[in-house]
Homo-oligomer: A and B are copies of this chain.
Amino acid sequence: MHLQYRFLYIMASLFYFACPVHAQQSDSLAVRKLVNEIMTNGAAYENLRQLCSFGPRLSGSSGAENAVQLTQKMLRDAGADTTWLQPCKVTHWVRGNPEKGYLETSDGIRHELRLSALGNSVGSGDKPVCAELVEVTSFSQLKELGEKKLRGRIVFFNLAMDPTKIHTFRAYGESGVGRRSGPSQAARYGAIGVIVRSLASNVDPYPHTGATMYNDSFPKIPAVAISTEDAEWAHRQLQAGRSLHACFSSGAMIYDDVMSANVIGEIRGSLYPEEIITVGGHLDSWDLGQGAHDDGAGCVQAIEIIRTFKALGIHPKRTIRAVMFMNEENGTKGAKAYLDSAIARREKHLFALESDDGGFSPRGFFFEVPDPVFQKISRWKPLLMEYGLYEFALGGSGSDIGYLEKIGTNLAGLNTDSQRYFDVHHAATDRFEAVSRRELHLGAAAMIALVWLVSEYGL
């Protein structure tokens, strides 16, 4: 099998321009061989099991540092020509004492909240934040209420994800504004605390955390996410005309940045070693679950690409670099360090592909590339459709590789079937058991197919 493949590979190289039909056939066989190796012998799932067994990997935590060591070893075991750690200072936010909170109706019904401090938020200090709860569903409503209605209150951003958006990330992007900017927007009008509805597709009992970004112009006030069940409860009470008194405590603290690292392993290109193809995910995760889908999946898929090339004895023409970025969730400081290093070393970054939409069945790719490059890539679509990869669209690629846009890198993101993603995203339910082996491996297969084509033919 190996020799036969080699033969076809050489044939493809010789006749690609002279004989496009043969090239197409041999490309198809080459892609099939890569995919079959992953679907048959893929190690990504077992690597993910191991990675998840170490617990969460919040930037600056010991879990994250353990994961750095573990994934460097995985890259070595996968057969990377070289592996290294790329130092970076990362955000060091700590949850501290477990959050507590409740709501109480004007007629004395007390409802305990399932809640989580928002990432990068400040804590409540020695005593809880307690005040009347004011529900809003938009920033314009917030502005309308103004300081008169909001000063000294706790603002409740009840922005449900739109269930009719089939691409769930669009719903996430829209409703996520409350979590991302809500605390500072509320503080602008004198609010003393913020409660956001968790960003979850369904009504469930789990708080889903995520980063908030304070605006330095306004006071930094404590902010928590409550479960969608709790949010629905609160909404019903307020709709029924009952006022709600809210109380919550948060032990969250931001410390000075600490040293951490991106984990990198590469296969040196056989013909154009100076042209780098980055394929990656982010190694850090939130601390409530195991970060299995977000983004252990992307990490083990990147490692799988190294393993597969090596296991099949295929030498890509261009350099393939698997990168596990640190600190995507609450700082993207690993990504910044990667860009800085690329600039300092005058590296030529041809292409980068990120997997950070969960370890689900792949549907295609989003590209951030110039039109002629998109045209070229689109011609490969017939090779990939038999693996269910139908969606080739222009759009966002990934938070980490996004930085490489500054040096003109062609970018892509794996587009997955994300219907289940916001059941588990940033919550305690993002565990190894939520990942399907075949779906995870099919994602890695989609990635290696695209990476191989770019490595063979450039862009």
Where the two chains meet, the residues of A that have a C-beta atom closer than 8 Å to any C-beta of B are 35-36, 39-40, 163-164, 166, 168, 201-202, 361, 363, 386-388, 390-391, 417, 419-420, 423, 436-439, 442
Contacts and interface: CB of A to CB of B under 8 A. Distances in A.
B166 A386 contact: yes
A419 B390 contact: no
Nearest to A363: B388
A151 B73 CA distance: 52
Given A40-B164, A361-B417, 5 more contacts: A201-B438, A361-B361, A363-B388, A417-B417, A419-B438
Nearest to A37: B164
Contacts of A387: 166
Q: Report copies per complex.
A: 2
A235 to B, nearest CB: 16
Most buried by B among A35, A39, A168, A423: A39
A390 B423 CA distance: 25
A438 B417 contact: no
Nearest to A203: B437
Contacts of A166: 39, 386-388, 442
A348 B218 CA distance: 70
B39 A164 contact: yes
B388 A417 contact: yes
Nearest to A364: B390
Nearest to A168: B438
A384 to B, nearest CB: 11
Nearest to A386: B166
Contact of A439 (B36, B391, B420, B437): B420
A163 to B, nearest CB: 5
Contacts of A442: 166, 419
Contacts of A390: 390-391
Contacts of A361: 361, 417, 419
A162 to B, nearest CB: 9
A163 B39 contact: yes
Nearest to A439: B419
Nearest to A165: B39
A406 B110 CA distance: 64
Contacts of A438: 163, 168, 201-202, 419-420, 423
Contacts of A201: 437-438
A436 B423 contact: yes
Given A363-B388, A386-B166, A436 B417 contact: no
Contacts of A423: 436, 438
B437 A202 contact: yes
A164 B436 contact: no
A169 to B, nearest CB: 13
Contacts of A40: 163-164
A39 B163 CA distance: 6
A31 to B, nearest CB: 12
Nearest to A438: B419
10 contacts: A35-B164, A36-B164, A39-B166, A40-B164, A168-B438, A201-B438, A361-B361, A361-B419, A417-B417, A419-B439
Nearest to A387: B166
Contacts of A202: 437-438
